[in-house]
């Protein structure tokens, strides 16, 4: 039930949805003064959440920065959180904008920093049509000559909470020893560390797929950009998810 409610609730946490709601309310109310205030509020949301500079300032304070792994240590397993591939027709998949998770995990394996890769991810869509991300990714890893003996699969989880819970079961059945390397997008790492910590899974953060907050400030950062709304969607979702996770403790 929590999973389904969270999917429905998503619509109401996105800034562009706020603009739409404010505009609809402005059209429905009869008081001219209130209507004007609603239009101004909608305009304010548009200006604030389309500003790349403001998003980058938030990102710099939220993201877990990438740190070099201990050069003297080799790790038994890279835990790669799903969400970096999407479903195509006929039960196939494709890499999406978070594909750097796959790239970095493969890099850790091919450079000898980890001996195994554990992919955790089932189908996070509201309507599950049978596609299992981890199963598809396993085939992709094998296409890169990663032997199946070095791949662990968890294909039942639908969100990060289940990623951690089900991964713990898989690791418990293996002989792989901690600490493990946790690979996920930088925007997702803070929440992931907290969730895996609750499951008492010792992990070393290995953030990737940085989407902002890492470049120099330019004049373009102050020009409204519709794509910035997508960045805020991602971070607001992470912020609310982190708060919910704390309340559930």
Six-digit token pair at 84?
A: 């970096």
Angstrom distance (rounded) from CA 199 to CA 210: 26
Q: What is the largest CA-CA distance in the chain?
A: 70
SS3 category, 200: coil
Question: Is residue 90 predicted with pLDDT exceeding 80?
Answer: no
**pLDDT tier, 14 (very low <50, low <70, confident <90, very high otherwise):** very high
SS3 category, 152: strand
- Domains of the chain: which residue ranges? 2-63+221-247, 75-208
Q: Which of 74-83, 181-190, 211-220 has the lowest mean pLDDT?
A: 211-220
pLDDT at 89: 75
Question: Is residue 182 predicted with pLDDT exceeding 90?
Answer: yes
SS3 category, 116: strand
The total number of residues shown for the chain amounts to: 249
**pLDDT tier, 11 (very low <50, low <70, confident <90, very high otherwise):** confident
40 CB neighbour count, 10 Å cutoff: 12
Angstrom distance (rounded) from CA 2 to CA 10: 12
pLDDT at 220: 87
Return the CATH number of the domain spanning residue range 75-208: 3.40.50.620
The conformation of residue 214, written as its DSSP 8-state character, comes to S
Q: What is the pLDDT of residues 125-164, one digit of tens each?
A: 766 677 999 999 999 999 999 999 999 999 999 999 999 9
Q: Give mean pLDDT, residues 81-97.
A: 90
Q: What is the pLDDT of residues 40-80, one digit of tens each?
A: 999 999 999 999 999 999 999 999 988 889 999 999 999 99
Angstrom distance (rounded) from CA 80 to CA 188: 12
**pLDDT tier, 2 (very low <50, low <70, confident <90, very high otherwise):** low
Angstrom distance (rounded) from CA 44 to CA 20: 13
pLDDT at 127: 65
pLDDT at 38: 98
Question: Is residue 226 predicted with pLDDT exceeding 80?
Answer: yes
pLDDT at 8: 75
Helix/strand/coil percentages in the chain, nearest 5? 55, 15, 30
Six-digit token pair at 109?
A: 């394996």
pLDDT at 124: 73
Q: Give mean pLDDT, residues 4-30.
A: 89
């Amino acid at each position: 039930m929590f999973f389904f409610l969270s999917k429905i609730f998503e619509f109401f946490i996105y800034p562009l949805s706020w603009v739409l709601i404010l505009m609809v309310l402005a059209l429905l109310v009869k008081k001219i003064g209130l209507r004007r205030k609603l239009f101004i509020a909608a305009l304010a949301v548009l200006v604030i959440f389309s500003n790349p500079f403001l998003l980058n300032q938030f990102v710099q304070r939220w993201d877990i920065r990438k740190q070099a792994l201990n050069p003297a240590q080799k790790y038994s397993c890279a835990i790669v959180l799903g969400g970096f591939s999407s479903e195509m027709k006929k039960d196939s998949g494709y890499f999406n904008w978070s594909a750097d998770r796959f790239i970095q995990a493969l890099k850790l394996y091919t450079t000898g920093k980890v001996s195994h890769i554990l992919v955790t991810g089932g189908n996070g869509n509201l309507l599950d049509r049978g596609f299992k991300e981890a199963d598809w990714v396993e085939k992709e890893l094998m296409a890169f000559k990663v032997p199946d003996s070095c791949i662990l699969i968890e294909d039942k989880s639908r969100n990060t909470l289940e990623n951690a819970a089900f991964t713990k079961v898989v690791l418990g059945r293996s002989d792989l020893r901690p600490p493990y390397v946790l690979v996920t997008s930088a925007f997702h790492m803070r929440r992931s560390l907290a969730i895996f910590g609750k499951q008492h899974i010792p992990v070393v953060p290995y953030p990737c797929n940085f989407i902002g907050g890492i470049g120099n400030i330019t004049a373009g950062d102050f020009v409204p950009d519709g794509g910035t709304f997508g960045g805020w969607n991602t971070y607001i979702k992470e912020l609310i998810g982190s708060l919910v996770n704390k309340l559930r403790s």
